[in-house]
Protein backbone atom coordinates (compact mmCIF):
# COMPACT_ATOMS: atom_id res chain seq x y z
CA UNK A 1 0.00 0.00 0.00
CA UNK A 2 1.40 3.41 -0.97
CA UNK A 3 1.62 6.39 1.39
CA UNK A 4 -1.26 8.01 -0.49
CA UNK A 5 -3.42 4.89 -0.16
CA UNK A 6 -2.76 4.77 3.59
CA UNK A 7 -3.68 8.43 3.92
CA UNK A 8 -6.78 7.89 1.78
CA UNK A 9 -7.92 4.96 3.92
CA UNK A 10 -7.43 6.80 7.21
CA UNK A 11 -8.22 10.43 6.39
CA UNK A 12 -9.85 11.03 3.00
CA UNK A 13 -12.72 8.61 3.58
CA UNK A 14 -13.83 10.77 6.53
CA UNK A 15 -14.35 13.79 4.25
CA UNK A 16 -17.40 14.26 2.04
CA UNK A 17 -16.39 12.80 -1.32
CA UNK A 18 -17.29 15.86 -3.40
CA UNK A 19 -15.51 18.20 -0.99
CA UNK A 20 -12.44 15.95 -1.10
CA UNK A 21 -12.54 15.97 -4.90
CA UNK A 22 -12.54 19.77 -5.07
CA UNK A 23 -9.72 20.01 -2.52
CA UNK A 24 -7.59 17.46 -4.36
CA UNK A 25 -8.22 19.09 -7.73
CA UNK A 26 -7.22 22.50 -6.38
CA UNK A 27 -4.00 20.97 -5.05
CA UNK A 28 -3.25 19.40 -8.44
CA UNK A 29 -3.75 22.71 -10.21
CA UNK A 30 -1.60 24.54 -7.67
CA UNK A 31 1.19 21.97 -8.13
CA UNK A 32 1.22 22.25 -11.93
CA UNK A 33 4.43 24.38 -12.22
CA UNK A 34 6.38 21.93 -10.06
CA UNK A 35 4.95 18.96 -11.91
CA UNK A 36 5.84 20.50 -15.27
CA UNK A 37 9.39 21.20 -14.12
CA UNK A 38 9.77 17.62 -12.87
CA UNK A 39 8.50 16.33 -16.20
CA UNK A 40 11.21 18.26 -18.04
CA UNK A 41 13.88 16.67 -15.84
CA UNK A 42 12.31 13.20 -15.83
CA UNK A 43 10.26 12.68 -19.00
CA UNK A 44 7.21 10.50 -18.74
CA UNK A 45 6.78 7.09 -20.32
CA UNK A 46 6.52 6.87 -24.08
CA UNK A 47 4.56 4.14 -25.83
CA UNK A 48 2.97 6.18 -28.61
CA UNK A 49 -0.41 5.26 -30.03
CA UNK A 50 -1.81 6.69 -33.25
CA UNK A 51 -5.60 6.70 -33.34
CA UNK A 52 -8.22 8.84 -35.09
CA UNK A 53 -5.39 10.68 -36.83
CA UNK A 54 -4.04 11.81 -33.45
CA UNK A 55 -0.77 10.98 -31.70
CA UNK A 56 -1.05 9.87 -28.05
CA UNK A 57 2.14 9.65 -25.96
CA UNK A 58 0.86 6.39 -24.45
CA UNK A 59 -2.53 4.66 -24.13
CA UNK A 60 -3.75 6.02 -20.77
CA UNK A 61 -6.05 9.02 -20.44
CA UNK A 62 -8.35 10.55 -17.85
CA UNK A 63 -12.07 9.86 -18.29
CA UNK A 64 -14.72 12.55 -18.36
CA UNK A 65 -16.18 13.52 -15.00
CA UNK A 66 -13.05 14.60 -13.16
CA UNK A 67 -12.54 17.95 -14.91
CA UNK A 68 -16.10 18.86 -15.84
CA UNK A 69 -15.37 22.50 -16.66
CA UNK A 70 -11.94 22.34 -18.34
CA UNK A 71 -10.11 24.13 -15.53
CA UNK A 72 -7.12 21.81 -15.02
CA UNK A 73 -6.30 20.08 -18.32
CA UNK A 74 -2.57 20.69 -18.35
CA UNK A 75 -2.13 20.08 -14.62
CA UNK A 76 -3.79 16.67 -14.99
CA UNK A 77 -1.60 15.87 -17.98
CA UNK A 78 1.47 16.73 -15.90
CA UNK A 79 0.53 13.84 -13.60
CA UNK A 80 1.10 11.48 -16.52
CA UNK A 81 -2.13 11.23 -18.51
CA UNK A 82 -1.58 11.21 -22.28
CA UNK A 83 -5.03 12.65 -22.89
CA UNK A 84 -7.70 14.34 -20.85
CA UNK A 85 -11.42 14.23 -21.61
CA UNK A 86 -13.30 17.16 -20.09
CA UNK A 87 -17.02 17.31 -19.34
CA UNK A 88 -19.65 16.16 -19.50
CA UNK A 89 -20.58 19.63 -20.82
CA UNK A 90 -24.23 20.47 -21.54
CA UNK A 91 -25.68 23.14 -23.79
CA UNK A 92 -26.83 25.18 -20.81
CA UNK A 93 -25.18 25.60 -17.43
CA UNK A 94 -26.80 23.55 -14.70
CA UNK A 95 -26.15 22.84 -11.00
CA UNK A 96 -26.69 19.08 -11.17
CA UNK A 97 -28.49 17.02 -8.58
CA UNK A 98 -28.77 18.00 -4.89
CA UNK A 99 -25.86 17.17 -2.57
CA UNK A 100 -24.73 14.78 -1.28
CA UNK A 101 -24.33 13.14 -4.68
CA UNK A 102 -20.87 11.55 -4.63
CA UNK A 103 -19.93 8.61 -2.38
CA UNK A 104 -17.18 6.04 -1.86
CA UNK A 105 -17.37 2.38 -0.96
CA UNK A 106 -13.71 1.72 -0.01
CA UNK A 107 -14.19 -2.01 0.59
CA UNK A 108 -15.01 -2.37 -3.11
CA UNK A 109 -12.78 0.53 -4.26
CA UNK A 110 -15.76 2.02 -6.07
CA UNK A 111 -17.40 5.41 -6.41
CA UNK A 112 -21.15 5.98 -6.50
CA UNK A 113 -22.22 9.20 -8.17
CA UNK A 114 -25.42 10.91 -9.15
CA UNK A 115 -23.86 14.25 -10.01
CA UNK A 116 -26.32 14.98 -12.81
CA UNK A 117 -24.02 16.73 -15.29
CA UNK A 118 -23.24 19.70 -13.05
CA UNK A 119 -21.20 22.07 -15.24
CA UNK A 120 -20.76 25.67 -16.35
CA UNK A 121 -22.38 25.11 -19.77
CA UNK A 122 -20.98 25.01 -23.30
CA UNK A 123 -20.49 28.76 -23.72
CA UNK A 124 -18.42 29.18 -20.55
CA UNK A 125 -16.33 26.08 -21.24
CA UNK A 126 -15.75 27.19 -24.84
CA UNK A 127 -14.49 30.57 -23.60
CA UNK A 128 -12.14 28.80 -21.21
CA UNK A 129 -10.79 26.56 -23.97
CA UNK A 130 -10.38 29.52 -26.30
CA UNK A 131 -8.33 31.36 -23.67
CA UNK A 132 -6.15 28.28 -23.17
CA UNK A 133 -5.59 27.95 -26.91
CA UNK A 134 -4.71 31.65 -27.26
CA UNK A 135 -2.22 31.43 -24.41
CA UNK A 136 -0.55 28.40 -25.94
CA UNK A 137 -0.36 30.09 -29.36
CA UNK A 138 1.39 33.14 -27.86
CA UNK A 139 4.29 31.04 -26.66
CA UNK A 140 7.41 31.17 -28.80
CA UNK A 141 7.81 27.43 -28.40
CA UNK A 142 4.46 26.07 -27.28
CA UNK A 143 4.80 22.95 -25.19
CA UNK A 144 3.15 19.87 -26.58
CA UNK A 145 0.01 19.44 -24.55
CA UNK A 146 -2.18 16.43 -23.97
CA UNK A 147 -4.72 15.28 -26.52
CA UNK A 148 -7.98 16.97 -25.49
CA UNK A 149 -11.33 15.22 -25.63
CA UNK A 150 -14.60 17.04 -25.01
CA UNK A 151 -17.60 15.05 -23.77
CA UNK A 152 -21.05 16.54 -24.40
CA UNK A 153 -24.43 15.55 -22.94
CA UNK A 154 -28.07 16.60 -22.68
CA UNK A 155 -29.22 19.50 -20.52
CA UNK A 156 -31.62 18.10 -17.91
CA UNK A 157 -34.53 20.43 -18.67
CA UNK A 158 -34.55 19.43 -22.34
CA UNK A 159 -37.29 16.85 -22.90
CA UNK A 160 -35.70 13.66 -24.20
CA UNK A 161 -38.89 12.95 -26.18
CA UNK A 162 -38.64 16.23 -28.10
CA UNK A 163 -36.22 15.25 -30.86
CA UNK A 164 -35.80 18.78 -32.20
CA UNK A 165 -34.96 20.10 -28.73
CA UNK A 166 -32.46 17.29 -28.08
CA UNK A 167 -30.74 17.86 -31.43
CA UNK A 168 -30.62 21.59 -30.76
CA UNK A 169 -29.14 21.08 -27.30
CA UNK A 170 -26.38 18.72 -28.40
CA UNK A 171 -25.86 20.83 -31.52
CA UNK A 172 -25.23 23.94 -29.42
CA UNK A 173 -22.47 22.18 -27.52
CA UNK A 174 -20.99 20.72 -30.69
CA UNK A 175 -20.95 24.12 -32.41
CA UNK A 176 -19.29 25.92 -29.50
CA UNK A 177 -16.81 23.25 -28.42
CA UNK A 178 -15.72 21.41 -31.59
CA UNK A 179 -13.22 24.11 -32.63
CA UNK A 180 -11.19 23.44 -29.47
CA UNK A 181 -11.49 19.66 -29.19
CA UNK A 182 -9.05 17.08 -30.53
CA UNK A 183 -11.96 14.65 -30.39
CA UNK A 184 -15.62 14.91 -29.42
CA UNK A 185 -17.71 12.38 -27.45
CA UNK A 186 -21.51 12.20 -27.44
CA UNK A 187 -22.56 10.94 -24.01
CA UNK A 188 -25.93 9.17 -24.01
CA UNK A 189 -25.10 6.76 -21.20
CA UNK A 190 -25.07 8.51 -17.83
CA UNK A 191 -27.74 7.10 -15.50
CA UNK A 192 -28.09 10.42 -13.69
CA UNK A 193 -30.01 12.49 -16.26
CA UNK A 194 -33.60 11.26 -16.57
CA UNK A 195 -34.31 9.68 -19.94
CA UNK A 196 -30.76 10.10 -21.25
CA UNK A 197 -30.07 6.40 -21.71
CA UNK A 198 -33.15 6.06 -23.91
CA UNK A 199 -31.11 7.94 -26.54
CA UNK A 200 -28.89 4.85 -26.90
CA UNK A 201 -31.67 3.14 -28.89
CA UNK A 202 -30.39 3.01 -32.47
CA UNK A 203 -33.47 4.68 -33.96
CA UNK A 204 -32.94 7.68 -31.65
CA UNK A 205 -29.15 7.65 -31.68
CA UNK A 206 -28.77 7.76 -35.47
CA UNK A 207 -30.30 11.22 -36.06
CA UNK A 208 -28.52 12.59 -32.99
CA UNK A 209 -25.07 11.46 -34.07
CA UNK A 210 -25.69 12.56 -37.67
CA UNK A 211 -26.73 16.02 -36.44
CA UNK A 212 -23.70 16.37 -34.16
CA UNK A 213 -21.44 15.28 -37.03
CA UNK A 214 -22.86 17.92 -39.38
CA UNK A 215 -22.75 20.63 -36.74
CA UNK A 216 -19.19 19.83 -35.73
CA UNK A 217 -18.06 19.86 -39.36
CA UNK A 218 -19.64 23.27 -39.92
CA UNK A 219 -18.02 24.65 -36.78
CA UNK A 220 -14.52 23.36 -37.53
CA UNK A 221 -14.74 24.48 -41.16
CA UNK A 222 -15.67 27.98 -40.02
CA UNK A 223 -12.75 27.98 -37.58
CA UNK A 224 -10.30 26.75 -40.22
CA UNK A 225 -9.67 23.53 -38.34
CA UNK A 226 -9.52 19.93 -39.49
CA UNK A 227 -12.49 17.63 -39.01
CA UNK A 228 -12.84 16.61 -35.35
CA UNK A 229 -13.13 12.86 -34.66
CA UNK A 230 -16.52 11.86 -33.20
CA UNK A 231 -17.19 9.05 -30.73
CA UNK A 232 -20.19 7.85 -28.72
CA UNK A 233 -20.06 6.69 -25.09
CA UNK A 234 -22.27 3.75 -24.11
CA UNK A 235 -23.37 2.07 -20.89
CA UNK A 236 -22.27 -1.36 -19.64
CA UNK A 237 -25.93 -2.17 -18.91
CA UNK A 238 -26.93 -2.42 -22.57
CA UNK A 239 -27.99 -5.87 -23.77
CA UNK A 240 -25.54 -7.57 -26.11
CA UNK A 241 -27.76 -7.04 -29.15
CA UNK A 242 -27.96 -3.33 -28.38
CA UNK A 243 -24.17 -3.14 -28.08
CA UNK A 244 -23.75 -4.67 -31.53
CA UNK A 245 -26.52 -2.41 -32.83
CA UNK A 246 -24.56 0.67 -31.71
CA UNK A 247 -21.41 -0.80 -33.26
CA UNK A 248 -23.17 -1.32 -36.59
CA UNK A 249 -24.51 2.22 -36.43
CA UNK A 250 -21.03 3.62 -35.72
CA UNK A 251 -19.76 1.90 -38.86
CA UNK A 252 -22.71 3.03 -40.95
CA UNK A 253 -22.33 6.67 -39.89
CA UNK A 254 -18.55 6.69 -40.19
CA UNK A 255 -17.92 7.47 -36.55
CA UNK A 256 -14.33 7.44 -35.39
CA UNK A 257 -14.83 5.42 -32.25
CA UNK A 258 -16.77 4.25 -29.22
CA UNK A 259 -16.07 4.81 -25.53
CA UNK A 260 -16.88 1.63 -23.57
CA UNK A 261 -18.16 1.99 -20.93
CA UNK A 262 -19.86 4.45 -18.57
CA UNK A 263 -20.95 3.66 -15.01
CA UNK A 264 -23.36 0.86 -14.14
CA UNK A 265 -26.63 0.95 -12.21
CA UNK A 266 -26.14 -2.66 -11.11
CA UNK A 267 -25.28 -3.39 -7.46
CA UNK A 268 -24.95 -7.16 -7.94
CA UNK A 269 -21.20 -7.62 -7.43
CA UNK A 270 -20.64 -5.30 -4.49
CA UNK A 271 -19.28 -6.81 -1.28
CA UNK A 272 -20.00 -3.73 0.85
CA UNK A 273 -22.76 -3.90 3.43
CA UNK A 274 -26.01 -3.90 1.46
CA UNK A 275 -27.73 -1.63 3.97
CA UNK A 276 -24.98 0.92 3.47
CA UNK A 277 -25.29 0.59 -0.29
CA UNK A 278 -29.08 0.99 -0.17
CA UNK A 279 -28.78 4.05 2.06
CA UNK A 280 -26.67 5.82 -0.57
CA UNK A 281 -29.56 5.72 -3.02
CA UNK A 282 -29.45 5.98 -6.80
CA UNK A 283 -26.40 6.64 -8.91
CA UNK A 284 -23.90 5.10 -11.28
CA UNK A 285 -21.10 2.91 -9.93
CA UNK A 286 -17.53 3.03 -11.22
CA UNK A 287 -14.58 0.90 -10.20
CA UNK A 288 -13.46 -2.74 -10.34
CA UNK A 289 -17.01 -4.16 -10.21
CA UNK A 290 -17.57 -2.71 -13.70
CA UNK A 291 -14.47 -4.34 -15.19
CA UNK A 292 -15.93 -7.70 -16.24
CA UNK A 293 -18.93 -6.29 -18.10
CA UNK A 294 -16.93 -3.41 -19.57
CA UNK A 295 -14.51 -5.96 -21.00
CA UNK A 296 -17.37 -8.07 -22.40
CA UNK A 297 -18.79 -4.99 -24.12
CA UNK A 298 -15.35 -4.14 -25.47
CA UNK A 299 -14.93 -7.60 -26.97
CA UNK A 300 -18.39 -7.45 -28.56
CA UNK A 301 -17.61 -4.09 -30.09
CA UNK A 302 -14.24 -5.15 -31.43
CA UNK A 303 -15.68 -8.32 -32.93
CA UNK A 304 -18.31 -6.23 -34.72
CA UNK A 305 -16.30 -3.22 -35.93
CA UNK A 306 -13.05 -4.98 -36.82
CA UNK A 307 -9.66 -3.32 -36.52
CA UNK A 308 -10.25 0.16 -37.89
CA UNK A 309 -12.53 1.83 -35.36
CA UNK A 310 -11.00 3.30 -32.20
CA UNK A 311 -12.35 1.85 -28.96
CA UNK A 312 -11.51 3.59 -25.69
CA UNK A 313 -11.70 1.04 -22.88
CA UNK A 314 -12.85 2.46 -19.55
CA UNK A 315 -14.48 1.06 -16.44
CA UNK A 316 -12.69 -0.68 -13.59
CA UNK A 317 -9.10 -0.22 -14.73
CA UNK A 318 -7.42 -0.35 -11.35
CA UNK A 319 -3.88 -1.62 -12.01
CA UNK A 320 -1.38 -2.47 -14.75
CA UNK A 321 -2.66 -6.01 -15.16
CA UNK A 322 -6.20 -4.80 -15.82
CA UNK A 323 -4.91 -2.15 -18.21
CA UNK A 324 -2.97 -4.80 -20.14
CA UNK A 325 -6.00 -7.10 -20.19
CA UNK A 326 -8.19 -4.35 -21.62
CA UNK A 327 -5.70 -3.66 -24.40
CA UNK A 328 -5.49 -7.38 -25.12
CA UNK A 329 -9.31 -7.50 -25.35
CA UNK A 330 -9.26 -4.95 -28.15
CA UNK A 331 -9.02 -1.45 -26.66
CA UNK A 332 -7.06 1.08 -28.68
CA UNK A 333 -6.77 3.49 -25.76
CA UNK A 334 -7.64 3.41 -22.07
CA UNK A 335 -9.29 5.80 -19.63
CA UNK A 336 -9.45 5.81 -15.86
CA UNK A 337 -11.19 7.77 -13.14
CA UNK A 338 -11.85 5.70 -10.01
CA UNK A 339 -8.46 3.95 -10.14
CA UNK A 340 -6.85 7.39 -10.15
CA UNK A 341 -8.95 8.57 -7.18
CA UNK A 342 -8.01 5.54 -5.09
CA UNK A 343 -4.44 5.30 -6.42
CA UNK A 344 -3.42 8.94 -6.05
CA UNK A 345 -1.32 11.41 -8.06
CA UNK A 346 1.48 8.93 -8.83
CA UNK A 347 -0.99 6.38 -10.21
CA UNK A 348 -1.21 7.56 -13.86
CA UNK A 349 2.54 7.55 -14.39
CA UNK A 350 2.85 4.19 -12.61
CA UNK A 351 0.28 2.60 -14.92
CA UNK A 352 1.79 4.17 -18.03
CA UNK A 353 5.28 2.99 -17.08
CA UNK A 354 3.96 -0.48 -16.36
CA UNK A 355 2.43 -0.63 -19.84
CA UNK A 356 5.69 0.56 -21.37
CA UNK A 357 7.72 -2.08 -19.55
CA UNK A 358 5.23 -4.91 -20.05
CA UNK A 359 3.08 -4.37 -23.15
CA UNK A 360 -0.02 -6.50 -23.50
CA UNK A 361 0.37 -9.91 -25.21
Residue 264, beta-bridge partner list: 285
Domain assignment of residue 193, given as a range:
3-357
The residues assigned a catalytic role are 190
Binding site per annotation, positions: 64-68, 88, 113-117, 151, 187, 192, 233, 261-263, 287, 316, 337-338
The average pLDDT across 231-257 equals 94
| Range with lowest mean pLDDT among 26-40, 155-169, 236-250, 303-317 | 26-40
**Domain total of the chain:** 1
Is the model's pLDDT at 65 over the cut of 80? yes
Residue numbers in the known binding site for FMN are 64-68, 88, 151, 187, 233, 261, 287, 316, 337-338
When pLDDT is averaged across residues 57-80 and rounded to a whole number, the result is 96
Say which CATH number the domain at 185 has.
3.20.20.70
Alpha-carbon distances of 70 from 4, 85, 205, rounded to whole Å: 25, 9, 26
44-54 pLDDT, tens digit per residue, is: 566 899 999 99
Q: What are phi and psi of 31, to 5 degrees?
A: -85, 0
* pLDDT band (50, 70, 90) for residue 72: very high
Q: Answer for the pair 94, 155: CB distance below 8 angstroms, yes or no.
A: yes
Amino acid sequence: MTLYERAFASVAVRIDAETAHHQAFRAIRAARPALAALDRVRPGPARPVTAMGLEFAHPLGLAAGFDKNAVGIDALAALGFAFVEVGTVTGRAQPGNPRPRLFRLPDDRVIVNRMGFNNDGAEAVAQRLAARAAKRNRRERPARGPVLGVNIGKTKVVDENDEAAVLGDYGLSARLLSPYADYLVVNVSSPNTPGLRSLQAVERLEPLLAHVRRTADQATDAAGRDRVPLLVKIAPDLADEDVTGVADLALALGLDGIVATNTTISRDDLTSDQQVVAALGAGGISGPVVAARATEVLRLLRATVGDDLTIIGVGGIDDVDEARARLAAGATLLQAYTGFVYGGPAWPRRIARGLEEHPHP
